Amino acid sequence: MTTTTQNAVKKLTHFIGGEMTPGKSERFGDVYSPSTGEVIALCPLASTEEVNEAVEVAHAAFEKWKRISLGKRVEVLHRFRALLVEETNRLAEMIGLESGKTVADAKGEIVRGIESVDLAINAPHLLKGEYSVNVGGDINSFSIKQPLGVVAAISPFNFPVMVPLAMTSMAVAVGNAVILKPSEKVPNSALYISELWKKAGLPDGVWTVINGDKEAVDTILKNPKIHAISFVGSTPIAEYVYSEGTKNNKRVAAFGGGKNHMIIMPDADLDQAVTAFLGAAYGSASQRCMAISAAMPVGEKTAEAFVAKLKARVAQLKVGAYTDESADFGAVITQQSKDSVLKYINESIEEGAVLTVDGRNPEVNAPEKGFYLGATLLDHVTPDMKIYRDEVFGPARIVVRVSTLDEAINLINSHEFGNGVTIYTESGPAARKFTQEIEVGMVGVNVPIPIPVGYHNFGGLKRSKFGEAHMFGPDTARFFTKSKTVSERWPEAKEDSKTEFAFPSSNQ
């Protein structure tokens, strides 16, 4: 919802040229606290003109930042990392307030975000080029990696700190100027990160936060001084950003939604599988791109035993305010999101799914207006149902029963999404077949959520990712740099110059 009215709620700013800068467009988006359902701030929605002005400021800062030595740049990152650690409690509180996730969960995402700063601190190692001596005619050949210029990151609501850090830390370290356009639903933590960058000594203009909606994104997509875009969000917008951005000659990595399965083989340790499913499926109110959506027990006996154990545990899960230390997860992000999840549940019941645990009207010790949904489990879901085909971003999880591992693999491979998947089994051959044949980017074996650590590449397949680049991991250094190959010759004495018309070869 967007409002243009003046009221007592705090108006947030952008962060441009090292300063908190008020918006000029007079358009604002309401920022809610999902735990109370109240508007806690107004997020400025930048106009095309404001975005383009910010790009000019960033471009000027880039011209200086790219000349700063790698060692000096890394010093800034070291200080930034230390500040993130020092400010973890404050950041976690901010994340909880505006996203609804519990403080414990918020702290977990900060730790994972810091992993990507750790990797960026290693940028000097990742920027080393190749060098060959005397490739022919006393010529030495080497490759160098240089920053691109101004680059942009457009982030989603569900990880207000981890995803922006994963998208941008390496971009800064390798010498770019970065423009972050955070989700307008969670702008506070991005602004706070800006303060930390400034305190760490990052020169003004190298880091910009532009708050906004479609107008800001469309301007980023068109501005010729922006050379690369890293996007994380839902699949339709990821596809749009990828196609428009590449049409305008930009490098784009666009990460979209997921529908992540957990296969439970007949030989799996069921208690371990149930425990893993609970956290991976319902943590963060299931609002993670890597959340497990569907349990896929293999064989009727496995399904009966797994569901019997699972339903008792799901029924005990507790939803609550982000400050409630006894809550397993918090509210969903908006009322609209809550309504959408309820619609999926109700339609699937009409289509024949069996409502095994009903979380539609949870008991919550929190303000009534909060966007709360309890843990819901639907059994006997079939692949033709909408609740199976779509990404459902809320705590309604499903059981899809299959007869064989081949059937499970075929179903998962024919699904639109390919972000994460996992198998629970005691069988090496089954696990090997699964990891070889599955068409999914991040694969687990007896691991609940197979999110790679910061120094490995992150990214899905199929319509979970558009473009070849990855997030986290060493691939980010490649994505945010251009490479050149230099052939260099310094002859000792002047030679008789003779023009060669034959194609140059190394046989000289």
CA 84 to chain centre: 18
Q: Which of 41, 127, 163, 387 forms a contact with ligand NAD (CB under 6 A)? A: 163
By CB under 6 A, tell whether 396 contacts ligand NAD.
no
In the complex with ligand NAD, the residue whose CB is nearer, 92 or 332, is 332
The 3 state secondary structure assigned to 331-375 is: CCCCHHHHHHHHHHHHHHHHCCCEEEECCCCCCCCCCCCCCCCCC
Task: From 2-10, 136-144, 222-230, 253-261, give the range in contact with ligand NAD by CB under 6 A.
Answer: 253-261
Assess whether 43 carries a catalytic annotation.
Answer: no
Cβ count within 10 A of residue 82: 14
255 binds ligand NAD (CB under 6 A): yes
Stretch that binds ligand NAD, among 88-96, 199-207, 213-221, 265-273 (CB under 6 A): 213-221
Do residues 411 and 398 touch, judged by C-beta distance below 8 A? no
Indicate which residue of 139, 289, 353, 375 is catalytic. 289
Other CB atoms within 10 A of residue 59 CB: 16
Element (H, E) at 19: strand 19-22
- Using CB under 6 A as the binding criterion, the count of chain residues that bind ligand NAD stands at 27
Rule CB under 6 A: which of 165-204 touch ligand NAD? 181, 183-184
Identify the residue among 217, 273, 319, 430 touching ligand NAD (CB under 6 A): 217
Q: What angle do CA 326, 329, 335 make, to 5 degrees?
A: 125
Ranked by CB distance to ligand NAD, the top (closest) residue is 233
CA separation for the pair 190, 165 (Å, rounded): 9
With binding defined as CB under 6 A, does residue 155 bind ligand NAD? yes
Q: How far apart are CA 466 and CA 418, in angstroms?
A: 11
Contact pattern for ligand NAD over residues 399 through 438, marking x by CB under 6 A: --------------------x-------------------
- Residue 257 within binding range of ligand NAD, rule CB under 6 A: yes
* 157 contacts ligand NAD (rule: CB under 6 A): yes
Of residues 202, 205, 170, the one with CA closest to residue 76: 202
Rounded Cα distance, 239 and 169, in Å:
24
213 binds ligand NAD (CB under 6 A): yes
Judged by CB under 6 A, the stretch of 59-67, 98-106, 212-220, 296-304 that binds ligand NAD is 212-220
CA 327/CA 320 separation, integer angstroms: 5
Q: Comparing C-alpha atoms, which of 287, 289, 293, 280 is closest to residue 338?
A: 287
Which of 50, 105, 391, 475 touches ligand NAD by CB under 6 A?
Answer: 391
Q: Of the listed pieces 34-42, 144-152, 210-218, 483-491, which binds ligand NAD according to CB under 6 A? A: 210-218
Least distance (Å) between residue 404 CB and ligand NAD: 29
Q: Which two three-digit tokens encode residue 329?
A: 């997860």
Q: Is 258 in the site for ligand NAD (CB under 6 A)?
A: yes
- Segment interacting with ligand NAD (CB under 6 A) among 4-12, 154-162, 297-305, 323-331: 154-162
289 contributes a contact to ligand NAD by CB under 6 A: yes
Tell me the one-letter amino acid at 252: V
Compute the distance between CA of residue 41 and CA of residue 151 in angstroms, rounded to an integer: 28
Is-contact 146 482, C-beta < 8 A? yes
Q: By the criterion CB under 6 A, which residues form the site for ligand NAD?
A: 154-159, 163, 181, 183-184, 213-214, 217, 232-234, 237, 255-258, 289, 391, 393, 419, 460, 464
Q: Which residues are catalytic?
A: 289
